[in-house]
Amino acid sequence: MLHGSRLGDRAGDRDNHFDLIRMIAAVAVLISHAWPLSYGRGWAEPMSTILPGFSLGHVAVLVFFAISGFFIAQSFDRTPDPIRFVRARALRLFPALVVMLLATHAAAMVLSDSPGAVWAAAPAYLARNLSLVSLQQTLPGVFTAAPFGPTVNGSLWTLMYEVICYAGLLLAGLAGLFGARSRRMAILVGVGLLAIAIPTGVDHPRVLRVLDLGWPFFLGVCLYIWRDRVVLDLRIVIAVFGATMLLRGTGVFTTLFPAALAYGVMVVGFLPRRGRAWQKPGDYSYGIYIYAFPIQQLGASLGYTTPMANIAFALPLTFVCAILSWHLVERPALSLKRGFGGSRRPLPMGAP
């Protein structure tokens, strides 16, 4: 049960549950999206009434970012080479994304009533979505009758914030995050204050999202930095979540809940035994995350417009795409890291 174990004792243990946790989180995003994709914008799944301000999909994304913060910090600490760091992150994100966009565009050619316009839109569609900054969410004549509207790739928006977190960690690492304690403390305090600051007068959605998603990533980094002091104990998880839930509806809940979640994920992720079996097939979470939305939109366009029907339609097809993506694209791409002289340890994947 990990009573009394410290995070630092388990941080290098590859026999863990994080592949399984990431896969569950990716499926949770799919489930959460089934409500608005079936009924239209403005609909939310039932969990959003239990946790004010947090839908099931939102919680799942916070899990991704917390895991990412921990393992990306570990990766940089072990190999503090900025070129290798950037190359490793690019190999994890972009090959599968390129293939998914090409596959989605090919499917859109068949589904659209204006295939010529879809073909003409290809350069902008690929370039803008690969930029991660100025996403092109629609293609001509595709999903026009879907209850949610014609959005094709509605989950890709989080990738930009993942890259922002990577960049922030890289800069902090180069500035001494893993070095002298005084510099480390100064950086952590400064970034922490920025992450939890209430953005008074700031209502730009991208700024708010950086704060929202950067906070669990930052917490994951902190858990890694102080891994030798963090005790892994399920009893503490229960106590922390219980205390946090008592604060629902207060102004501090949105700050404390991701903190409790980040700690809980680390405890569960490093529970001993039985994790290895889930790692053998592969890490399908990224594929599930990027393929689920267009497949769910296809289901909605075909009449699967109740949440359960949409999930039943999309889940098996999404798993097929994710399995193919891992074995044919993602894992071969990750092997290129070894060819460039990188570590033989598998690359961590946090947020999709």
In a domain, 349, yes or no: no
Q: What is the pLDDT of residue 349?
A: 52
Q: Is residue 333 part of a domain?
A: yes
pLDDT in tens, 109-133: 999 989 999 999 999 999 999 999 9
331 found inside a domain: yes
Give 203's pLDDT tier (boundaries 50, 70, 90): low
Sign of torsion, CA 292 323 57 74? negative
- Mean pLDDT comparison of 247-256, 320-329, 334-343, highest-scoring range: 320-329
Residue 350 covered by a domain: no
Would you state the structure tokens that stand for residue 328, as one six-digit string? 């044919």
For position 352, what pLDDT does the model report?
58
Q: How far apart are CA 256 and CA 270, in angstroms?
A: 22
Q: pLDDT higher for 262 or 44?
A: 262
Number of folded domains in the chain? 1
- Domain ranges, residue 232: 5-339
C-alpha distances in angstroms, 85 versus 94, 188, 316, 337, 340?
14, 20, 34, 10, 12
pLDDT in tens, 54-93: 999 999 999 999 999 999 999 999 989 999 999 999 999 9
User: Looking at the domain assignment, is residue 101 inside a domain?
Assistant: yes
- Start-end of H helices in the chain: 7-10, 18-39, 56-78, 82-111, 115-120, 122-131, 157-174, 181-196, 205-225, 234-245, 253-269, 276-279, 285-301, 307-325, 331-339
180 vs 282: CA distance, rounded Å: 37
Nearest-5° angle of CA 82, CA 343, CA 71?
70
The CA distance from 183 to 159, in Å, is 29
pLDDT at 199: 47
User: 345 lies in a domain?
Assistant: no
